[in-house]
A and B are shown apart, each in its own frame.
Chain A
Amino acid sequence: MTDIFGIPLQAFLGQLALGLVNGSFYAVLSLGLAVIFGLLNLINFAHGAIYMLGAFLAWMGLTWLGVNYWWSLLLVPLVTAGAGMILERSLLRRLYGLDPLYGLLLTFGLALIIEGLFRQMFGVSGQPYPVPDALRGATNLGFMLLPTYRLWVVAASLVVCASTWFVIERTSLGALLRAATENPKLVQAFGVNVPLMIMLTFGFGVGLAGFAGVLAAPATQVSPLMGSHLIITVFAVVVIGGMGSILGSVLTGLGLGLVEGLAKVFYAPASSTVVFVIMALVLIVRPAGLFGRDK
């Protein structure tokens, strides 16, 4: 068989693979948002800006300091997580007693500031980031040829998502985290340092965004706008998957990437809107999201 529904098989699989790569970014980013939302009840609008920051930190590391891709992959998430924890300690913590909208506004403002700074410094044209030597070229999967770097993106994202899921759902630390998500005061009365837990959780979620940024650098142009372009779709993913659901955000992220890929094959103009159409449908049928729980 060389075509499927009248579409050449190669093109079909190619778009699906591209969809899976996009889906991997959606998954890692929405996972970070879900982890943060679960414990902090905060919709982190700065998530896209931090993703962009991650990519730029990798670029600056390589261009100015000679820090290679692999070191960036390790260090940038730590740096962004550290910055996130300082942000949580210094600003977000003051807003916990208030309406969640304040947190949303604060992070939205931060996103604008970060993005504005980078636009000022680098313009909007974007900087190239070379694919690391080990991941150059293409890999033959038997049925199709795929750029090795894309395969790596999918594999690395899956490993990160699976590890996160494992820690949260299958370890004792995760059990405490889930308990704190349901009733932070009670966990605190048990003797768990909840403020510390909140700080680390925010740091972790933000670190995931930084990680996704480094991962994205060689795959796209490193541009100040890369975050705001992507994050809108990621928010739709979070809404479809269900706010705060870990597994939901990962599966929805990957799934919607594939759906977008499919849309490109069959009716390309729909590919940029299909996610939002699905979001509207899900909101009508299941307002809590596909994996969400009615509160």
Chain B
Amino acid sequence: MNTEHILETRQLGKDFKGFTAVSGVDLQIRRGHIHALIGPNGAGKTTVFNLLTKFLRPTTGQIFFNSTDITSEKPAQTARRGVIRSFQISSVFPHLTTLDNVRIALQRPLGTSYYFWRSQNSLNQLNARAMELLELVDLALFANKAAVELPYGRKRALELATTLALEPELMLLDEPTQGMGHEDVDRVTALIKKVAQNRTVLMVEHNMKVVSQIADRLTVLQRGRIIAEGPYAEVSSNPQVIEAYMGTVDTELQGAH
């Protein structure tokens, strides 16, 4: 087992009642990398995410995190190992304040969650850290607003803050810039780059500009299989990839998004 790789899958596959969503996926994520998972719609990217975070049970294959076989673990167990995900559809606690959203996440690693007799006031000590995280994603001004009232781009930023609150060793981001305006995209891209300095990030991303800017390596999925893997420059000139993505080899991958 290679310790250079924080996460590794072997022949990972998932069938849904006869439909093969993912098959034979050998994924290797290097420690400290930003690794992008790309592919056309329906390629199985989100399925892979769900398999890695145990929200789905694989039909075949194995998953190793830090050389430990986590294939048959429950979602919460894997999360406690430090594999934390975001969801494709913006996922917050809508009726809690922005600050509370982050605080709930902060509460978990400190282990206070099972000491239910602790009053919530003891959670106030988490406020400082929560505000720090909100400032990091530029949400400090919205701290006392209910999450449901935040504009879409801000909600995604809040997700990033809650994910960070859990101090993940491996962070899985499912389309972190999806549906954002240009300005937000640049900000979130810079933010991901910043938070990736001392951790590993695996992200599903459609925006090739973002991928080209920050991804160290990328894996291309098509119909549930890996068709290419490597640094951006190498993968983006791979004719198979260009065809998969654009349906034709004539177009530059750069423009895909």
B170 CB, min distance to chain A CBs, angstroms: 13
Q: Is the CB of B91 within 8 A of A191?
A: no
Q: Is the CB of B115 within 8 A of A172?
A: yes
Say whether A124 faces chain B, with CB atoms less than 8 Å apart. Answer: no
Q: Is the CB of A189 within 8 A of B53?
A: yes
A-B contacts at CB below 8 angstroms, number: 93
Chain A residue with Cβ nearest B91: A186
Chain A contacts with B in 160-198, Cβ cutoff 8 A: 167, 170-176, 178-179, 182-183, 185-195
Chain A residue with Cβ nearest B54: A188
**A170 contacts which chain B residues (CB < 8 A)?**
119-120
Q: Is the CB of A186 within 8 A of B116?
A: no
Say whether B117 faces chain A, with CB atoms less than 8 Å apart. Answer: yes
Q: Is the CB of A175 within 8 A of B104?
A: yes
Q: Is the CB of A175 within 8 A of B105?
A: no
Say whether B114 faces chain A, with CB atoms less than 8 Å apart. Answer: yes
Q: What is the bound-complex CA distance between A188 and B93, given in angstroms?
A: 13
**B123 contacts which chain A residues (CB < 8 A)?**
172, 175
B52 CB, min distance to chain A CBs, angstroms: 12
Chain B residue with Cβ nearest A195: B74
B172 CB, min distance to chain A CBs, angstroms: 9
Q: How large is the interface on B (under 10, 10 to 19, 20 to 34, 35 or more residues)?
A: 35 or more
Q: Is the CB of A188 within 8 A of B79?
A: yes
Q: What is the bound-complex CA distance between A167 and B162, given in angstroms?
A: 23
**B118 contacts which chain A residues (CB < 8 A)?**
171-172
A158 CB, min distance to chain B CBs, angstroms: 20
Q: Is the CB of B108 within 8 A of A190?
A: yes
Indicate whether A179 sits within 8 Å of B96 (C-beta atoms), given known contacts A173-B114, A189-B85: yes
**A192 contacts which chain B residues (CB < 8 A)?**
76, 79, 108, 113
Listed residue (B76, B91, B112, B117) with the most chain A CB atoms within 10 angstroms of its CB: B76
Chain A residue with Cβ nearest B76: A193
Say whether A293 faces chain B, with CB atoms less than 8 Å apart. Answer: yes
Say whether B166 faces chain A, with CB atoms less than 8 Å apart. Answer: yes
**B96 contacts which chain A residues (CB < 8 A)?**
178-179, 182
Q: What is the bound-complex CA distance between A174 and B123, given in angstroms?
A: 12
Q: Is the CB of A191 within 8 A of B107?
A: no
Say whether B10 faces chain A, with CB atoms less than 8 Å apart. Answer: no
**A195 contacts which chain B residues (CB < 8 A)?**
74
Q: What is the bound-complex CA distance between A185 and B120, given in angstroms?
A: 23
Contact with A along B52-65 (1 / 0, CB 8 A): 01010000000000
Chain A residue with Cβ nearest B172: A189
Listed residue (B84, B95, B103) with the most chain A CB atoms within 10 angstroms of its CB: B95
Chain B contacts with A in 63-99, Cβ cutoff 8 A: 74-77, 79-80, 84-87, 91-96
Listed residue (A185, A187, A190) with the most chain B CB atoms within 10 angstroms of its CB: A190
Chain A contacts with B in 115-149, Cβ cutoff 8 A: none
**B91 contacts which chain A residues (CB < 8 A)?**
183, 185-186, 189
Contact with B along A182-220 (1 / 0, CB 8 A): 110111111111110000000000000000000000000
Q: What is the bound-complex CA distance between A167 and B120, given in angstroms?
A: 9
A192 CB, min distance to chain B CBs, angstroms: 6
Q: Is the CB of B76 within 8 A of A186?
A: no
Q: What is the bound-complex CA distance between A185 and B75, given in angstroms?
A: 9
**B205 contacts which chain A residues (CB < 8 A)?**
none
Partner of A179, one of B85, B86, B93, B120: B93
Q: Is the CB of A191 within 8 A of B166?
A: yes
Q: Is the CB of B84 within 8 A of A182?
A: no
**B3 contacts which chain A residues (CB < 8 A)?**
none
Q: What is the bound-complex CA distance between A195 and B77, given in angstroms?
A: 12
A208 CB, min distance to chain B CBs, angstroms: 17
Indicate whether A189 sits within 8 Å of B104 (C-beta atoms), given known contacts A171-B117, A179-B96, A182-B94: no
Chain B residue with Cβ nearest A187: B104
Q: Is the CB of B76 within 8 A of A176?
A: no
**A179 contacts which chain B residues (CB < 8 A)?**
93, 96, 104
**B93 contacts which chain A residues (CB < 8 A)?**
178-179, 182-183, 186
Say whether B2 faces chain A, with CB atoms less than 8 Å apart. Answer: no
Cross-chain pairs A/B with CB under 8 angstroms, 27 sampled:
A170-B119, A171-B120, A172-B107, A172-B115, A172-B118, A172-B122, A173-B114, A175-B100, A175-B123, A176-B104, A176-B107, A178-B93, A178-B96, A183-B91, A183-B92, A183-B93, A183-B94, A186-B87, A186-B92, A188-B79, A189-B85, A189-B91, A190-B162, A191-B76, A193-B77, A194-B76, A293-B95
Interface residues of A (CB under 8 A from B): 167, 170-176, 178-179, 182-183, 185-195, 293
Interface residues of B (CB under 8 A from A): 53, 55, 74-77, 79-80, 84-87, 91-96, 100, 103-105, 107-109, 112-120, 122-123, 162, 166
Known: A182-B94, A186-B162, A193-B77. 12 other contacts (CB 8 A): A170-B119, A172-B115, A178-B93, A179-B104, A183-B92, A185-B87, A189-B86, A191-B80, A191-B108, A192-B76, A193-B76, A293-B95
